Amino acid sequence: MLGSLRGVAQSVSYEVRMLLIILRVVFLTGRYHIIDFSFNQLNTPHLLIAVLIFFLLLVSFVAETNRSPFDFAEGESELVSGFNIEYGRGGFALLFLAEYSRIIFLGGLRVFLMLNLNFLFLIVLLVVYMSFMVIWIRGSFPSYRYDMLMILA
């Protein structure tokens, strides 16, 4: 019971902020189509307007992927990493493939929401850089407590 309450508190603390940031971009654009985000930013990209919101979206996406500073559901320092010993070869590979593809997807979503880019090479380069930032954050910052994540929101 207490674990489920902590999980809900974690979800609410970062998902509400993430939703408000995405709705801010949608309100500036006026439509929900991802192509319109790029057309709306022809004169001024959203990143130039709100650099702080760009980094808040990074923190929300790192919390969404349950990576190391915010890995409350599977605290590797407290547990024996249950999923690492429960799944065999194929299940373990699919689990980590899903985790890293989610990181790449959220990096691409951040690039499309906040930047106006027309070159595919530059888009791919920035998505790789956003994914690198998430992996770098995992190795650089210590784990937080639940109350620290809720204060962050």
Residue 110 has a pLDDT of: 84
pLDDT at 18 over 70: yes
Q: What is the pLDDT of residues 43-100, one digit of tens each?
A: 666 677 778 888 888 888 888 777 777 776 665 555 555 566 666 777 778 888 888 8
Assign residue 30 a region (left: φ > 0; alpha: ψ between -120 and 50; beta: otherwise). Answer: left
Q: What is the reported pLDDT for 19? A: 86
pLDDT grade for 16, boundaries at 50, 70 and 90: confident
Q: Indicate if the pLDDT at residue 33 is higher than 80.
A: no
- Which amino acid type is present at position 138? R
For residue 143, the 8-state DSSP code is P
Among the listed residues 52, 31, 8, the one whose alpha carbon sits nearest the alpha carbon of residue 149? 8
Dist CA 87 CA 64 (whole Å): 22
Instruction: Delimit the domains of the chain by residue range.
Output: 2-152
pLDDT, one tens digit per residue, over 99-130 is 889 889 988 888 877 777 777 888 889 889 98
User: DSSP alpha helices (H): ranges in 75-115?
Assistant: 82-86, 89-114
Instruction: Give the pLDDT confidence score for residue 81 in this predicted structure.
Output: 59
Is residue 151 within 8 A of residue 13, CB to CB? The reply is no
**pLDDT on residue 75:** 56
pLDDT, position 35: 74
Centroid of chain to Cα 28: 21
